[in-house]
Amino acid sequence: MSASIVAGGETRLQVLISRQQIAAAVERLAVEVRRDYRDVSPLLVGVLRGAFVFLADLVRALEMPLTLDFVRMASYGTGTETSGKPRIVHGLRSPVKGRHLLVVEDIVDTGLTTRFLLDYLGAKGAASVKLCALLSKPARRQVDVPIHYLGFTVPDRFVVGYGLDFAQQYRYLPDVCVLEGAGVP
């Protein structure tokens, strides 16, 4: 889809993935996750803040026993380039040892933050750690990250909407959009 939206000033938004495409992907991913976790009640780990919309839709579509917790990572600040030094700002409250974890992420970009989190959770004694990501941007990948459940692969463009932001703006958009102008690379 290629609808353009003027966001203000010189900022432009172009719809990359529509809300209908997102809904279909969430349903597809839920079928895959239900199949793989039919005999266990996984702990879904939502990565704040960007994954909260995707996680909410996924949880409703799963229709299965699960527990939920959140982790908040930092590596970007208000910019568009990663610092390359991820850190956990808010850790899990739930015990991890012996649990089957499904990390739910909005986007895997360089892979640095996601790889750090997966390694951290694995070191805490999880029985398994898998990754479900709405978006993957392989053109920017710096480290290998296994994505077990993937919604979409996107080009090397800055995307917002459906929970993803630019300086805390645009999370409310129901579609994933390319953001151009106003200091966006």
Q: Name the residues annotated as catalytic.
A: 109
Q: Give, to the nearest 10 degrees, the angle between helix 19-36 and helix 52-62.
A: 50
Report in angstroms the alpha-carbon separations of 74 from 9, 83, 124, 129.
Answer: 29, 9, 20, 20
Closest CA to 29 of 132, 128, 156, 123: 132
Measured distance CA(90)–CA(41) in Å, rounded: 23
How many other CB atoms are found less than 10 A from the CB of residue 35?
8
Instruction: Report the relative pairing of strands 87-90 and 67-74 from DSSP bridges.
Output: antiparallel
Q: With contact defined as beta carbons under 8 Å apart, do 31 and 7 qualify?
A: no
How many other CB atoms are found less than 10 A from the CB of residue 63?
9
Report in angstroms the alpha-carbon separations of 133 from 7, 13, 181.
Answer: 26, 22, 26
